[in-house]
Amino acid sequence: MKKLSMMDTGFLLAESRETPMHVGGIHLFTLPPGADEQQFLRTLTHGLRSDDDLQSPFGDRLKMGRLGLAGPVHWEKEKSLDLEYHIRHSALPKPGRYRELFALASRLHGTLLDRNRPLWEMHIIEGLQNRQFATYSKFHHAAVDGARSMHLVQSMYSYDENARSECSAFSVESQRRYRAQLEKIRSEGMSDQELRNVAEALKELFDSGTHIFSSLKRYVRGWMGKGGALALPWQNVPRSSINTHVDGARRFVAQSWSFERIRAAGRAMDGTFNDAVLAMCAGGLRLYLQKHSELPEKSMKAMVPVSLRQKGDIDSSNAVGAISADLATDIADPIKRFRKIQSSMVAGKELFKGMKPKEAALMLQLIQAPGLLLMPLGLMGRLPPYNTIISNVPGPRQAMYWDGARLDGMYPASIVTEGIALNITLVSYDQNVDFGITACRRSMPQVQRLIEYMEQSLVELEQATGLVTPKPTADRKPIKAKRKVAKKKATKKKATKTVTEKVAKKTSKMTVVKR
């Protein structure tokens, strides 16, 4: 049996019907050329449901004592595993659009996992257009974090389109082969590209040890207003329509952008890829709240998770820290907004600089301690530590296949909590960045519009940095339109006048005749 860490148990303690604590998402595939959809998906499903010995967390369930979650909690092997319960086959009415796919994912993501069973599900979904199919998966956050999910993905799929599965993708044998592949990569001195973090995202800051006291001093100075650009949880976090009570229903939407396009925007400002992502999201949120007349006067803040996972660790359930980012939503100018975001990220990194992963995890627990009191009292909606969560999960940077079916996109679905009704998570895959946006259905019923506003925000940044030249006729179009309308009105008025005159003249003649 494997004991759950304090962080793992925390996700179980924080879960309620209104706040499910699982992560997952949609994987979109294109069928191999010439493959019959029904036969191909039946074969995949049969392979997944094989009786192989399953790797953690697929074959493990929770084991608690008399004290429940207040006592020690372990993972133990499930003796009567029902794979037909965990692996399900669904179909959209043909021809299925992405709208229906996301609607299905929204419903599935809003239901709790059964704690009497292993805490995961996979749904194989057919019925999409253009010979595509999808999977929706969810895993409890107590068992899997973002980095672990990427390891699972890479152990399930292959970079070779001709490769075929010889065992269940969930099996211990599949994990063993993946470990062997990692060892081969390291022994040959090859670039560990498919596992590395995006170079500019968040630099490796957690590889050397210093005492936590110096960081605590920076943290205290931040609360005293002497932290410079350092943003802290609960400090100057404005209230907004995003920071309200949530219920259990979810909305899920997704979109892909070019990786090089976003990275170019960051480089143009001497910033990182992650800085550009935050600026893009910040601008989108600003537009969204402006359209609803709900933009706070103070700048909004975001929690930005960072991986504390050591190289080669593919077993830990959770190894994650967090930086608080100032989104500068109170600034209209995209250049100034980017600079403020960039400064807050640099200050946040400095807070954890030089720490070992365990020290960083301890520091994070100290920072988040007020939430342990506020959450049980139901006060997180009134005193939110952040306005939203923006998480960047580095994924494989080249195309992958599942028994010959090309993986077209990975769209993550994450957690919405009390007081934080919006979660933006992205995965870098192949040439794209796949965004998955999860929101409380009641609090943000029109969250799909955020995608349009994020595109506008990115274009705004590209134009401000000279990457894209605005169309010279853009400002003239409304004027031309007004002139056309005015001309049309004048013509209509003249025509009406002419008709009136003719009627009056005719009436006059008729009157004369009557006399």
Structure tokens at 140: 């409890």
Annotated catalytic residue within 22, 141, 211, 245: 141
Which two tokens mark 375? 């959450």
86 catalytic per annotation: no
Give the number of other Cβ atoms within 10 Å of residue 514's Cβ.
Answer: 6
Q: Tell me the Cα Rg of the chain.
A: 27
Return d(Cα 416, Cα 20) in angstroms, integer: 8
Q: Do residues 126 and 34 lie in contact, with contact meaning Cβ atoms separated by under 8 Å?
A: no
Interacting residues of 362 by C-beta distance below 8 A, sequence separation 6+: 212
CA distance from start to end of the chain:
113
**Is 185 in contact with 192 (CB distance < 8 Å)?**
yes
Closest among 14, 245, 27, 19 to 124, alpha carbons compared: 27
10 Å Cβ neighbour count for 222?
20
Q: Are strands 301-307 and 388-394 parallel, antiparallel or unpaired?
A: parallel
Distance, CA of 255 to CA of 437 (rounded, Å):
9
Backbone region of residue 305 per phi and psi (left: phi > 0; alpha: psi in -120 to 50; beta: other values): beta
CA distance 31 to 230: 48
Site of tokens 């960051």? 266
Bridge-partner residues for 438, per DSSP?
Answer: 252, 423
Burial 308-346 (b: 16+ CB within 10 A, else e): bbeeeebebbbbbbbbbbbbbbbbeebeebbbbbbbbbe
Q: Which residues is 122 bridged to in the sheet?
A: 87, 137
Q: How far apart are CA 275 and CA 229, in angstroms?
A: 15
Give, as one character, the DSSP assignment of residue 197: P
At 499, list the tokens: 């008709």
Extract the tokens encoding 297. 């006067």
Backbone angles phi, psi at 149, to 5 degrees: -65, -35
* Rounded CA separation 488/486 (Å): 5
Active site residues: 141
